[in-house]
Copies of this chain bind each other. A is one copy, B any other.
Amino acid sequence: MSVSAVSYSIRDLSRDFGVTTRTLRFYEEKGLLEPQRQGHRRLYSAADRVRLKLILRGKRLGFSLDESAELIAMYDPESNNAAQLRALIDKIREQQGRVEEQQRQVQLMLADLQDWERRSVQALHVLND
């Protein structure tokens, strides 16, 4: 096996994922990433890139960083743990519920407003007739 050892600087990751270096260091403080070091410098591996991808995906799903941390812990592709996988799925389902509720609320509000608009326009017509 060739240990090709591809690694990336903090600047690389920053560019590739559209986040600041501050963000990457912050994620490390929180224990979400732990790149190797070459002296002082951080060296990010492919695995680190995957973790970062997961973190950012978590954010897009509407999770906090702490929640993302939990999720990633569960996501561990090594331990083929079925129970953990179910737990993960459940977490996502909960989030799905929350998002759906928001969507319902938005749709309701929108329906109300459009109804309102319809009536307003009609009122104008009446005035103009």
Does A47 interact with chain B (Cβ within 8 Å)?
no
Main secondary structure of the interface of A (DSSP, over half): helix
Of A4-12, A18-26, A31-39, A115-123, the one contacting chain B is: A115-123
Q: Which of B62, B80, B89 contacts A110 (CB 8 A)?
A: B89
Please give the count of copies of this chain that the complex contains: 2
Chain A residues in contact with chain B, CB under 8 A? 57, 60-62, 80, 82, 85-86, 88-89, 92-93, 95-96, 99-103, 105-107, 109-110, 113-114, 116-117, 120-121, 123-124
Q: Contacts A96-B106, A109-B57, A110-B92 known; A117 to B86 CB distance under 8 Å?
A: yes
- Given A61-B102, A103-B103, answer yes or no on A92-B113 (Cβ-Cβ < 8 Å): yes
- Contact at B117–A80, with CB atoms within 8 Å? no
What are the residues of chain B within 8 A of A82 when measuring CB–CB? 117, 120-121, 124
Nearest residue in B to A71 (C-beta to C-beta)? B109
Whether B89 and A106, one on each chain, are in contact in the complex, defined by CB atoms closer than 8 angstroms, is no
Kindly state the separation between the CA atoms of A126 and B86 in the bound complex, as whole angstroms: 20
Please indicate the chain B residues that have their CB under 8 angstroms from the CB of A116 in the complex.
85
Q: How far is the CA of A99 from the CA of B107 in the complex (A)?
A: 11
Q: Complex formed: what's the CA distance from A61 to B98 in Å?
A: 11
